[in-house]
Structure 1
Amino acid sequence: MKVDQKSHTITIKDTQGDFTGFLMKVTHQFKTFENYNIIIDLQQHNELSLSHVKEFLPLSKQHKKTKKSFVIVVSGVDYNAIPAKLTVVPSLLEARDIIEMEEIERDLGF
């Protein structure tokens, strides 16, 4: 697992190729990241199903309650079938853009 911090955002990337192990590590270390916006980078996983992505739903809900962004980067999934409570995008650039927009919305009181 690789963690990269840039200002108020942390990008967490799986370096082992083991999705289940990665999810467990992120879950166990979640308290460490709770004060930052989080980008979960799953681009390395070419064969992820929608059910794998949905496994991040509890973390996403918990994190958004603290008024922070939680964005998952993954390609090759049906974005229309993703639950509305999950923010999933195909690239890191889009993830950063979403976080920037959500920061502006929070600053404006939305």
Structure 2
Amino acid sequence: MKDEHLLQAFNVWEDLSLSHEDIIAYQSRLKYILDEEAKLEDVKHMAEQKGIEKGKEEISKNLLVDGMDIEFICKITGLSVERIEEIKERLIQTNEDKQR
């Protein structure tokens, strides 16, 4: 339809003529779509956070290899001292494994 007013009127008429069952089905479908969209947003957010964390760990690892102080690495990355010490231990273990 090319007449915008006629199209709007037709859509309103169509909405008003829906049965109670049709309205329930429509609302259920809409809820399902919105729930799925929210799930996708949650997964996207979690993936972004995981990527940021991996990036911080990689930066920490590189700074440790360059001999930087743990406190300095904490300031730069925002990671805890404990987490950086874990990364350091993993580096040491990896180097020991390579030397064997």
**Is TM more than 0.5 here?**
no
* Larger-gyration structure (1/2): 2
- TM class by shorter chain equals under 0.3
Higher relative contact order (CA 8 A, sep 6+): 1
> Structure 1 length as normaliser, TM-score?
0.22
